[in-house]
Every structure is written in C-alpha cells, then in structure tokens.
C-alpha cells in the first residue's frame, strides 16, 4: 500500500500521480492521511485502484470517478462523487449537498446522512444512504436508483424522469410529478440485492417506492402550475 500524507505533500501532487498511473500499474492500493478537509481529493480517477482517505474531506471528493474504489473514513463536503461514471465511492460518515450529482453509473454509499439535493440530475448511478437525506433529493433524476434507509426531506423527486426512489422512513412533501408507486416482489428482490452490494443492513420489504407520474414530459396548460 502506498501512503500519501497531505500534511506534507500538496493535493495536486497526489492527484497528478493517480492520473498518470498506466493501465497495467501494480500500484493499486493507496492510503491518504491528514486530508484535513482538503477539496477535490482523488478526482478524475480512471483505473481500477483502491484509495482509502483517513479523515474528513471538503468539496468534490472522488468527482468524475471511473473504475476506482474510493473510501472516505470521515465526513465529506458537497459534491461527493459528482458525475461518477463507474466504480464505488463510500463515505463512512455524513455527506453534504449534491451527492453523486449527474452521476451516470457506479455505486455511491453514504453510511451516515446526506444533505440536500442528493442525486440531483442523476443519470444512471445507484446511491444508497443509510441515514436520511435533505430536501429536493433526486431533483430532475433521469435514471438510476436512490435508496434512503431513513427519512427524506421535502420536494423529493421533484421533476423526476425515470429514476427510482426507495425510502425506508418518512417522506416530506413530494416534489412536482413525483408519486408513490407499487412495491412489487421484484422490486423488493432488486432492492435487497442493491442493499447487499452496498453493505447496508435494512429490510427491503419495509421500503416504499417513488417515481414519475409522467405528467411533465410535455407541456400541458392544465398542469401549468406544476412547472
């Protein structure tokens, strides 16, 4: 395992070394210590490596991730795993706003709570939050799944397209065009598989499913107040 101490070396050097790794690299296990709230740690990774960050990080950690597994042992600021393409990003604490915004693939796991706009404009990523999420989560979500084991704030799924939302706790006011849907046996099985992959213990049979009512796909004057 290669250790990188951000108290002694700038973040630019860490990211630069990670970006230059060739496809056949044998430097696949990295340990980052003393992040001390640094921004943009381990961004733009494109190789199937593992990076463990021991401590709290700031904005945009593990953004644009592809192939890599990134674990943050601590809390993180907004924009965690923004525009993730593939791989796995996990935070053992809480995450701020905009978790996995515009994410196109991969898996993002928050073992604590997540702030507002979790999964905003998600386009295929799977997000599992063991705690609760803030307001306007899954806003304009297009594809993928958002799983909230706790409660969800107001305006959940506002202007949602074809993404799926599962909530184990309470929900506030639903967003425009977001409705509760039937939870079938197949949905329960799919959710169980996703929770197992995320390493989160929860009973999938106790979740509710939400998605699009499909009334905002095209402008309709009868629904003008909803836009």
**Res 216: pLDDT:** 77
Q: Hey, is 220 helix, strand or coil?
A: coil
The H or E element that residue 16 is part of is helix 11-19
Query: Sign of the C-alpha dihedral, residues 107, 101, 63, 103?
Result: positive
C-alpha distances in angstroms, 154 versus 134, 151, 172, 213? 7, 10, 4, 17
Closest to 62 measured CA to CA, from 45, 77, 43: 43
Rounded Cα distance, 6 and 94, in Å: 21
**Res 70: pLDDT:** 98
Q: Return the ∠ at Cα 71 (arms to 142 and 80), rounded to 5°.
A: 40
- What does pTM read for this prediction? 0.95
Rounded Cα distance, 175 and 187, in Å: 22
Q: What is the DSSP string of 163-213?
A: -EEEESS-B-SB-TTEEEE---HHHHHHHHHHHHHHT----GGG-EEEEE-
In order along its 227 residues, the chain shows pLDDT tens digits of: 999 999 999 999 999 999 999 999 999 999 999 999 999 999 999 999 999 999 999 999 999 999 999 999 999 999 999 999 999 999 999 999 999 999 999 999 999 999 999 999 999 999 999 999 999 999 999 999 999 999 999 999 999 999 999 999 999 999 999 999 999 999 999 999 999 999 999 999 999 999 999 987 666 666 666 65
**Res 157: pLDDT:** 98
Domains recognised in the chain with CATH numbers: 2-226 (2.160.20.60)
């Amino acid at each position: 395992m290669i250790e990188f101490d951000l108290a002694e070396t700038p973040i630019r050097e860490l990211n630069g070394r990670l970006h230059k790794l060739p496809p056949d690299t044998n430097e696949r296990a990295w340990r980052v210590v003393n992040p001390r709230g640094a921004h943009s740690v381990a961004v733009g990774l494109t190789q199937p490596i593992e990076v463990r960050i021991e401590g709290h990080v700031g904005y945009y950690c593990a953004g644009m991730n592809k192939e890599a597994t990134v674990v943050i042992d601590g809390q993180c600021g907004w924009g965690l795993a923004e525009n993730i393409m593939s791989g796995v990003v996990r935070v053992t604490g809480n995450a701020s706003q905009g978790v996995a915004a515009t994410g196109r693939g991969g898996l993002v796991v928050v073992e604590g709570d997540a702030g507002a706009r979790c999964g905003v404009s998600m386009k295929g990523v799977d997000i599992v939050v063991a705690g609760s999420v803030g307001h306007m989560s899954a806003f304009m979500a297009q594809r993928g799944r958002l799983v909230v084991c706790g409660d969800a704030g107001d305006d959940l799924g506002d202007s949602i397209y074809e993404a799926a939302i599962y909530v184990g706790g309470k929900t506030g006011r639903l967003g425009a065009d977001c409705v509760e849907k039937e939870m079938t046996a197949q949905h329960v099985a799919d959710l169980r598989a996703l929770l197992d992959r995320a390493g989160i213990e929860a009973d999938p049979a106790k979740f509710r499913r939400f998605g699009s009512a499909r009334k905002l796909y095209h402008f309709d004057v009868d629904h003008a107040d909803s836009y």
